[in-house]
Amino acid sequence: MKRFFKFFFGIIVVILILFQFYPRQNNNLAPMINANDISLHHSVPAPVDEILTTSCYDCHSNNTSYPWYASIQPVSMWLSDHVKEGKSELNFSEFGSYSLRRQYRKLEEINEMVKKDEMPLPSYTFIHTDAKLNPEQKQVIAGWATALRDSFKANYPLDSLQRKK
């Protein structure tokens, strides 16, 4: 029986070592701003930008700051999938390319998710404790999202911002 466990453990170790050669698919490592970045299309005050950078951009932009353990498989694959999923929901680096309706809706979702403590995810803030939002930061983000949505309402016809029911 002891021999079986040694053999089984050896197989697991070999698999984990071989797994390290699996190619990694990372987001950009160096901060870049492209033409569709939210900050180039809408007013993002410095306090809001700081909060977004610290708490949101790792999963919701084309610029991710990867921790040291992101180079270890299978963690690397899990993080890559997590970032890919986050960017498919909301990508601040591509926000300007969204339709007005989608931008308007995403601002509403930002407001809701932050107020309900659904973002940032607990699995992210468990390790990245600086990303956890305090009540003042939540209020700053919610106020900014609401103000930006209000500016949309003031500048665009409502039917271009909402789906017809």
72-79, Cβ contacts within 8 angstroms, sequence gap of 24 or more: 72/20, 73/16, 73/19, 73/20, 73/22, 73/24, 74/19, 76/22, 76/24, 76/26, 77/22, 77/24
| 6-33 pLDDT tens trace | 777 677 666 656 555 555 555 555 556 6
As a whole number of angstroms, the distance between CA 147 and CA 161 comes to 15
| 50-79 pLDDT tens trace | 999 888 888 888 887 777 766 777 767 777
| 108-158 pLDDT tens trace | 999 999 889 888 878 777 777 888 889 999 999 999 999 999 998 888 777
| 77-91 pLDDT tens trace | 777 777 888 888 999
* pTM reported for the whole predicted model: 0.75
Q: What are the structure tokens assigned to 52, written together? A: 């977004």
What are the Cα distances from residue 114, in Å, to 9, 51, 88, 150, 156?
44, 12, 18, 18, 25
Task: Give the DSSP H/E element, type plus range, for residue 109.
Answer: helix 100-115
